[in-house]
Each structure stands twice: as C-alpha cells, then as structure tokens.
C-alpha cells in the first residue's frame, strides 16, 4: 500500500508541477490523520525526488477553539523525539465580530481563513513560496459540491492554487488519494493521530454533504467519488492551463 500511495503523491506533484528545486514549503501540522499522513509521505518522497525542497513544519494553535486542540507539548515531543522535526507553534484568534460561536456552517470557512492568513505571514519569515495542505480527493469533491449547492457555482478546490497577490502557491499533494486509504495507512503504520474534535463539525454543511450525499451515493456507485474527481480535474486543467493554475 505504501508504494502505491507514494506513486499517487508523486504523480500529483508532477502533474501539477507542485514542487521545484530549492522550494521552501510550509506545512501546517495538526493531530488529524490527514496531517500526520502528509508529514510521513512528504518526508519519504523527499528522499527519492530529484527536486530538493525544504519543509518548514508549523503547529497552529486555535485559541478560539481551545477544546479542539491537543496540548502542543505532546505534539512537539513526538515530532522532535521520534521524527527529528522541529515544530514551531503559532497562536491565532478570530476577530471579535466572528460568527464562529453561532454554530453556523460558515464557521469552518472563517477558521480556515484565519489559519491561512497566519501561514501566509509565516512564509515571509522563512522565504517560503509554497504552502502544502493535506486535502485529499474526498475533500476536493465535497468542497466542490458544497460550492455548487450553497453558492450556485462550479468552483473546484484546486490541487494547485497560485495566490498572485501574496506570491504564494497552495499545493495539495494528497489530491489523488482517497480518505479511506489514508485512514487505513495510519492505522496499519501505527501513526498516532486523533479524530477531529471541532465542536461545530457535525453541524457543518460540509459534513452533511459528505455523509448524506457522497457516502450514500458511493454505496450505490463505488466509483462515485473518483468519477466526479477526475471530471473536475480534467475541467480544471483545461480551464487554467494557459495561466499555469493561477486563481
């Protein structure tokens, strides 16, 4: 399984030209399975890729969702003692007018926005031009469906997203990998992780689409997620090929 997953990540990196020689990539670490899988697979792939890139690992502590986080020292000790990775801690909060505590689905969007602003600012500190996110194939499909259902527009969560204003590129090396494969891998590899404990997750539109639409249809059509994903990727490549994935 590991070799197959490595091949898929390498394929995504090459298909979308995610990494180049001497790139410095910022990676946000959490204790979730997707995040833990990303650090493992990127470390392994870096050993074999011809492109020599540098990774900076950052742990973002969400002060506005303190119950969502495991103690930082536990994370730091594991990364430094077992993985030989230096982990920097960044504290972030939301503006006073945030609607996060209203328990509406937009809370996820605001939370993600706060994290990414913090990471983009850190890119200046490390002279990084790339931010690696751990969204997988299921995330891309669910997000696209959420945009269609909620905002009435076909907008994919792209494998590569160049933010020209900041001169920073978001990359998603796990774009070709299914969530179920990530879960099986971290369990079999005995990689420690914690499930999402976000207090608003169960009530989000994203989770409802994932459970009520995607998982239900996947039981009827096993290739449901893959077929949607590859149709989206094909459209994305054709639409943005002339501007090299600028958004």
**Is the pLDDT reported for residue 107 higher than 70?**
no
> 72 or 212: which carries more pLDDT confidence?
212
CA 29 and chain centroid, separation: 10
> To which residue do tokens 């590569």 refer?
160
Instruction: Answer yes or no: are the C-beta atoms of 83 and 44 closer than 8 Å.
Output: no
pLDDT of residue 216: 94
For 93-233, list the strands marked E by DSSP: 130-132, 160-163, 168-171
**Is the pLDDT reported for residue 185 higher than 70?**
yes
Give dist(CA 225, CA 183) in Å, integer: 16
> 67 or 118: which carries more pLDDT confidence?
118
Instruction: Answer yes or no: are the C-beta atoms of 128 and 167 closer than 8 Å.
Output: no
**Is the pLDDT reported for residue 213 higher than 60?**
yes
**Is the pLDDT reported for residue 244 higher than 80?**
no
Report the alpha-carbon angle 93-115-170, nearest 5: 165
pLDDT of residue 206: 84
> 112 or 242: which carries more pLDDT confidence?
112
Selection from 169, 181, 189 nearest residue 137 by Cα: 181
Domains and CATH numbers, the chain: 2-243 (3.40.50.620)
Q: What is the pLDDT averaged over residues 13-19?
A: 91
Q: What is the pLDDT averaged over residues 107-135?
A: 82
Q: What is the pLDDT averaged over residues 35-64?
A: 80
> To which residue do tokens 């998603």 refer?
172
User: Is 0.95 topped by the overall pTM?
Assistant: no
**Is the pLDDT reported for residue 118 higher than 50?**
yes
Give dist(CA 8, CA 132) in Å, integer: 16
Q: What is the pLDDT averaged over residues 123-147?
A: 92
């Amino acid at each position: 399984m590991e070799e197959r997953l490595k091949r898929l990540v390498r394929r995504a990196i090459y298909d979308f030209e995610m990494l180049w020689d001497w790139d410095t990539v910022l990676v946000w670490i959490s204790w979730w399975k997707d995040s833990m899988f990303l650090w493992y697979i990127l470390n392994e792939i870096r050993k074999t890729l011809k492109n020599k890139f540098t990774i900076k690992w950052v742990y973002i502590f969400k002060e506005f969702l303190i119950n969502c986080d495991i103690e930082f020292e536990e994370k730091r000790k594991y990364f430094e003692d077992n993985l030989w990775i230096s982990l920097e801690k960044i504290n972030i909060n939301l503006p006073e007018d945030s609607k996060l505590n209203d328990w509406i689905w937009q809370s996820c969007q605001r939370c993600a926005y706060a994290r990414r602003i913090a990471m983009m600012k850190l890119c200046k500190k490390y002279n990084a031009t790339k931010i690696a996110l751990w969204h997988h194939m299921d995330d891309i499909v669910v997000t696209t469906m959420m945009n269609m259902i909620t905002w009435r527009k076909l907008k994919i969560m792209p494998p590569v997203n160049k933010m020209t204003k900041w001169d920073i590129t978001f990359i998603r090396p796990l774009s070709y990998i299914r969530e179920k494969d990530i879960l099986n891998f971290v369990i079999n590899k005995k990689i420690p992780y914690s499930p999402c404990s976000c207090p608003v997750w169960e009530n989000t539109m994203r989770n409802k689409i994932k459970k009520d639409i995607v998982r239900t249809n996947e039981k009827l059509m096993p290739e449901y997620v893959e077929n949607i994903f590859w149709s989206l990727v094909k459209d994305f490549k054709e639409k943005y090929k002339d501007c090299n994935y600028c958004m």
